[in-house]
Structure 1
Amino acid sequence: MAAALAAVLFASFLRPMWDIDLFWHVQAGRWILDHRALPDRDIFAYTDPSRRWHTFQWLYEVLCAAGERALGLHAVQWAHHAVVAGALGWLCATVARRAGVAAGLLAAGCVLVGFGDRVRERPDVFNLWCTVAILPWVVQREPLRRRQLLALGGLGAVWASLHAGGALLLPTLLGARALARTGLAGWSRAALREGALSVSPAVGLLISPGYLAGLGHALGMIDATAEFIPEWATAWQYLTNPGTSPYGRWTALGVVAWPTLAWALTRRAQPPGRADPPWLPALVVLPLLVLAGRHMRFLWLASLAPAVVLLWRPVAEPGRPPAPRWQAWVAALALAVGLHHQVWTLSGGPAQAAQRALVPLDPGAFPVTAARLLRDCGQSGTAVFNHAAWGGYLLHALAPGARVYSDGRGNFSAVEAAVLADLNRVSARRAAIERAFAATPFQWLVHPSPFPLWDHDRARWVLVAKDPDAEVWLPAHAPGGAGRAGAMLACLGLPSAATATTGWAEAVGERRIAASAALSARLARWQAAAAAGDAAAARQVLALWFNHGVHGRCAQAAFDATVDGDAGVRYWRALCSASHSGPASARAAIEEALRLPPAAWTAAAIPARERARLERMARVGILGP
């Protein structure tokens, strides 16, 4: 039964990779394998290579790097899913041996709901596995034997090497166990001795190489990265956030629901003939709830409460009455909710989930084509000013030797954090880029498309390539910038920078994405108003677009000539989206076109002074052929 459950869960977990961290973990593991040492300085950022950085997940990184070298990145992704599915199947089997099949499914279903958002390519999956491994010993009624203590110590050493922060659960839960058992024994000397001995496996954490340095570094980054990592928010903030999905709200309510369910189970967990107060499971559950409420990323710990209580029961004995029927119903509900989230919410239903199961990367999530262009043209190992979510992927795709501005580790200074924050504000973006370049020059800028630089100096910033996912800019004024531009053009076999984008797009077979539904609807409203001769209404639609930054965003639409053959319509769409045109000039040109009747929207209606710019935009692929 447990094996079948694990197989079903594994199949439901399969989907394209979208998490950003695995790539830099693999590169860190490669560095450790190649140097046979743990880094103590930043090995990825070009801004300050002397900055202190201690990895606190080195064994996880080594395993990922070794797996990637032997079997490929897709196999490493599947291994993460197998770890989660195996842990849930193991938990189901462990609880079922003590309290019956319904109870086992109930415990696994609750954890599936709580951990569903953490099923991704990160070391968190080993936190689940190790926690499931220690739970039976944490709630064991009898004193821990020497063999068990040694096993816990060894597991602690391995756990600390996989995830230093997650390994703190070992001393936390063993400490709660010691406190509960000492209190039940009346705080006698023997009880205190047993309590101290039961916490001794925590020494295993210190055996892990670099544990204290890595843990200290990780804890020191929490406050500095809180603005950029939403999962450091409290569970209450997550619960009340309007952007939280209904599934997320339901899970967050588990901070209250799981303990309530656990307490109901506790009343049935007493062995025959005994009425001990349930201090042990209660004190073990308490730190789990505190952590779950403190940070959103630990919210899943609350879902362990039913498993803790069910494991507190003695091993099932012959003649014991069966588990209450409601356990089976709650188990079925929890499993249904968890599977619905994995298959429908995350994958779009069974049909789409089956189609996407073997796709390695989530389409559009990473700058795959842009990175391939840089790598194929000999630009690996250079410094890239990047979109924060792409740093890890660029490190991996442009290895060896690539360095980025930000890669997901959160190892940046306050000045760099301010730059990253300004990149999210269109009005402050250009100044932020200039500040970053002045502080530490870089060779390339890779950011999502469209990435408007409305008033940039075209002699200093050159748009080398653009596709629906990413734009690649070259700072021509950087040291060696002219040489890199020449090398790129020679690689592409193109005579000028103006034709580089079009030639590259044709060479790699990229096609433009279709217009989004929202953009199509706005286009229809504008065309209807203009066709009716209501220029004021048409201008109002355009004004709303500009107020919401449409000058950059509408470039996500297709500019294929087959969509609209009217040159005038193509013209305003180009002006609206092209980074070569500032918002003021684009607005003026569009309003001038609106004063003409629809029948006059032809190539001849384009102002003569704008034809040169139109031809230039056509060359860089804005208007299509």
Structure 2
Amino acid sequence: MTIAASLPIAHRQGNLAPLCAAAATYLLLLVSGDGLLHDPDTLWQIKVGQWILDHRAVPWTDVYSLTRQGDVWLSTSWLSQVLFAATYSHWGWAGPVILAATAIAAAMGLLLALLQRHLTLPYALVFCLLAMTLATPHLLARPHVLALPVMVGWAGALMAAADRGRAPSFLLLPLMVLWANLHGGFVLGLALIGAIGLESLWRAAPARRLALTLKWVAFGLAALVASCCTPYGLDTLLGALRILSLGTSFAVIAEWRPADFSSFSPFAGALLALLGLALSRGLSLSPPRVLLILIATWMALAHIRSIETFGILVPLVLAQPLGTGIRPTASDAPRALWMVPPAPAALVIVMAVASATAALVAHHAFAFSATQTPVAAVDVLSERKGARIFNSYGFGGYLIVRDIKPFVDGRSELYGEKFLMDYFAAEDGRDVAGLLRMLDDNRIDATLLTADSPAAQILDHIRGWKRLYADAIAVIHVRDEQQATTPPK
């Protein structure tokens, strides 16, 4: 970034900066690549992707779980799963790490390019750093990161159209097709059409508003059709909406919990900085832009998973109003949306990044987080031929990889709100009777729970169950038929 900023020709600064930012982001993620492998969902995502490759089809029903076998389940991230599975089969864990790091880096570079249309490089970099910081806890080798550059490009292009008081080009529709096949978050992209479209109408002359409204409506309908260009067709929308219908169970799933302000966090700092910016600069935003910021803030407050959306969307909304105050002269007119960096310099950067990647992969073996993989415990269960297992939520993905049907796993939309609420109440020790009922009704012969699970502590004192194995990661309990049939003294 220092090199890019020192170039004497202004347009070259603008052209090289996004590529430099993308390269720096990629290398940073690659060096800390094991940090991208800290989510058990990555395991079953790869397993599903391999199933799709093997069967040349997408799943319509569940084939993995113990409790939902045969129920309807659509993989709304099928393309991401295929990409992760293909890279994993060829390069081991280095494949998903490189794939995820590339997508995240592309998103950050693209965000910087979009912001530079209105902001000078230092201001644009600050916003990109903020977005990266807010997204860091959720930067994992999972489908949502592959869709991240698509989300940035889609939201940025819509805002660019609104800034000009125009309707977006239909050439953007392939982005929606790609997004809908990569991740179920494409529903956000559809919602943004209406929210950002209001800004375009606000800026347009009254005589143009009717015609412009019709263009935005036409684009919205076309985007809706484009989102159904997947192997599931119209059912793509139904599959994505099932995730949004989990209701109160969001509160017990870690990534869907509300934001916590009991201690200072980057998100709290971002909200305070946003408030300070508004107060110090006296920003006057149009009502549609205020609405966009309020919606993004509410989403981030309601679900920590949406904090990364806040970090990307808010800078795009603020860029044009801030740029007007920072660079009011005619010579600082917005740059073109797409800028190609100088070919020789770009080639040098790409080759340097490729060389660094090859060198690191040759000397470092990426490995999935050991705390998410109860290897030794599952080995014990396999030796005992355990088949009906009650497991902690985070162990479901690993059980799927080991071809053991989990009681529950990260596909929350498959299990539904009631099942998840009952399960977490039982596993957390808040409903002991419910726990025992689940074990009996599902004919569970063994449990695989985290070492600190309240349910594991409870089973230590429940007649008919005995602790078979324990380590720092997992605890196994099995039925003790002899104790169960022996009358208490």
TM-score (norm. length: structure 2): 0.73
Is the Cα contact below 8 Å between 2:42 and 2:142 reproduced in 1? yes
Say which of 308, 315, 318 aligns to 1:309.
Answer: 318
CA distance in 2, matches of 1:395, 1:468: 21
1:116 is displaced (CA, Å) by 2.0
Q: How does 1:559-574 map to 2 (within 5 A)?
A: none
> Distance between the aligned counterparts of 1:40 and 1:461, measured in 2?
37
- The Cα shift of 1:290 comes to 3.8
- Which residues of 2 match residues 468-483 of structure 1 at below 5 A? 468-475=472-479
User: In the alignment, which of 288, 291, 303 is matched to residue 296 of structure 2?
Assistant: 288
Q: Which residue, 147, 162, 167 being the options, matches 2:182?
A: 162
- State the distance in 2 between where 1:438 and 1:79 align: 43
Supply the distance in 2 between the matched residues of 1:18 and 1:421 (Cα, whole angstroms): 25
Residue 425 of structure 1 and its aligned partner are, at CA, apart by 2.1
What is residue 361 of structure 1 aligned with on the other side? Answer: 368
Contact 2:391–2:406, Cα closer than 8 Å, also in 1: yes
CA contact (8 A) 2:199 2:286 kept: no
CA deviation after TM superposition for structure 1 residue 440, in Å = 1.5
| Partner residue of 1:207 out of 209, 229, 236 | 229
* Match for residue 454 of structure 1 among 450, 455, 460: 460
Name 2:205's counterpart in structure 1: 185
| C-alpha distance in structure 2 between counterparts of 1:367 and 1:463, whole Å | 16
Partner of 2:5: none
Structure 2 CA distance for partners of 1:359 and 1:195, relative to 1, 3 Å: closer
SS in 2 for 1:446: strand
8 A Cα contact 1:182 1:195, kept in partner: no
- Which residue, out of 291, 306, 313, partners 1:298? 306
CA gap of 1:101–1:60, structure 2 versus 1, over 3 A, is same
After the TM superposition, which residues 438-453 of structure 1 pair with which residues of structure 2 at under 5 Å, given as runs? 438-449=440-451, 451-452=456-457, 453=459
Equivalence map 1:32-43=2 (5 Å)? 32-43=52-63
In structure 1, the partner of 2:392 is: 387
The one of 3, 19, 22 aligned to 1:6: 22
Check the 8 A contact 2:156/2:316 in 1, yes or no. no
Q: Which runs of 5+ in 1 are unaligned?
A: 269-276, 324-356, 479-625
Q: Tell me the distance in 1 between the aligned counterparts of 2:451 and 2:289.
A: 52
- Residue in structure 1 matching 2:422, options 396, 418, 425: 418
111, 115, 118: which one pairs with 1:95?
115
Aligned residues: 416
- State the match for 1:51 in structure 2: 71
Q: What is aligned with 2:331?
A: 320
Counterparts of 1:444-593 in structure 2 under 5 Å?
Answer: 444-449=446-451, 451-452=456-457, 453-457=459-463, 461=465, 463-475=467-479
Q: Kindly provide the CA deviation profile for residues 199-258 of structure 1, in whole angstroms up to 9, marking residues without a partner as x.
A: 3334311223231221232122243x22421443444xx22xx3xx522xx413534533
Which structure 2 residue ranges, 5 or more long, are not aligned?
Answer: 1-16, 335-363, 483-489
- Is contact 1:20–1:389 with CA below 8 Å preserved after alignment? yes
Kindly state the Cα deviation for residue 156 of structure 1 after the two structures are TM-superposed: 0.8
- 1:297 counterpart letter in structure 2: R
Q: 1:445 offset after TM fit, Å?
A: 2.2
Give the equivalent residue in structure 2 for 1:73. 93
Q: What is the Cα deviation at residue 389 of structure 1?
A: 1.2
CA shift digits 1:550-596 (9 cap, x unpaired): xxxxxxxxxxxxxxxxxxxxxxxxxxxxxxxxxxxxxxxxxxxxxxx
Instruction: Sort the Cα spacing of 1:230 and 1:456 in 2 relative to 1 into closer, same or farther, 3 A.
Output: closer
Cα separation, 2, equivalents of 1:131 and 1:266: 29
Q: Specify the SS of the correspondent of 2:150.
A: helix
RMSD: 3.6
Look up the match of 2:253. Answer: 229
Structure-1 separation of matches of 2:86 and 2:159: 36
Question: What is the Cα deviation at residue 282 of structure 1?
Answer: 4.5
Query: In the alignment, which residue of structure 1 is the partner of 2:14?
Result: none
Q: After superposing the two structures, state which structure 1 stretch, 149-158 or 34-43, moved more.
A: 34-43
Structure 1 length as normaliser, TM-score? 0.58
Deviation of the 1:97 alpha carbon: 5.2
Alpha-carbon distance in 2 for matches of 1:393, 1:264? 50
- Say if 2:67 and 2:408, in contact at 8 Å, map to a contact too: no
SS at match of 1:246: coil
Show CA shifts across 1:65-117 (max 9, x none): 22222222342134223321221122223323543321321221121122122
Structure having the higher Rg: 1
The amino acid of 1:206's aligned partner reads C
8 A contact 2:84–2:99 mirrored in 1: no
Please tell me whether the aligned partners of residues 451 and 470 of structure 2 are also in contact (alpha carbons under 8 angstroms).
yes
2:18, 2:112 within 8 Å by CA — same for their partners in 1? yes
CA distance in 2, matches of 1:118, 1:175: 27
Deviation at 1:318, TM superposition (A): 9.8
Indicate how the Cα distance of structure 1 residues 195 and 106 shifts in structure 2: closer, same or farther if over 3 A, else same. same
What amino acid does structure 2 have at the position aligned with 1:369?
A
Instruction: Name which structure has the greater RCO, CA cutoff 8 Å, separation 6+.
Output: 2
CA separation in 1, counterparts of 2:274 and 2:329? 29
**CA distance in 2 between partners of 1:301 and 1:358 (Å):** 32
Q: Give the Cα–Cα distance (whole angstroms) in 2 for the partners of residues 171 and 415 of structure 1.
A: 30
